[in-house]
Amino acid sequence: QLKAKGCDVKFGIHPVAGRMPGQMNVLLAEAGVPYDIVLEMDEINDDFSNTDLVLVLGANDTVNSAAEEDPNSQLAGMPVLKVWNSKQVIVMKRTLGVGYAAVDNPVFYKENTDMLLGDAKSTCDALASGIRERP
């Protein structure tokens, strides 16, 4: 729907996203997402500084800026999707809870981030409905 409205849409995948490597790629393929717009972390990270909006679904540690900004973090040095470099970030999660590493995510509190708490499927369905209704 966004592509039909002239938006450049891409999906960024962290190598360890999901319960096993490659799971998110498989799920996106099953959902009919064209493979050419599904990018690995190293392919998309440089694009974030030129990106208007990033929607983060359920991720925590894989988009945690502490990995780069806090040398004392348990995540220090871990490769992450640098979503905070975009103009706006919307994170969709059930809660503000920590991820697997049990580390707070500073991205959730950055000025360019909004949190959209709730069930991701319901939230995405509502967003898609709102996009369909807009000219």
Q: Residue 106 phi/psi, 5° resolution?
A: -60, -25
- Cα–chain-centroid distance for residue 3? 18
Residue 61 annotated to the active site:
yes
Ordered strands of the 53-57 beta sheet: 53-57, 88-93, 113-117
Catalytic residue among 36, 61, 70, 104: 61
Query: For residue 80, what is the DSSP state?
Result: -
DSSP class of residue 24? H
Instruction: For residue 48, give both structure tokens.
Output: 């974030």
| CA atoms of 116 and 96, how far apart (whole Å) | 10
Residue 10 main-chain phi, psi, to 5 deg: -135, 155
Judged by DSSP in three states, 14 sits in coil
Query: Which sequence positions are flagged as catalytic?
Result: 61
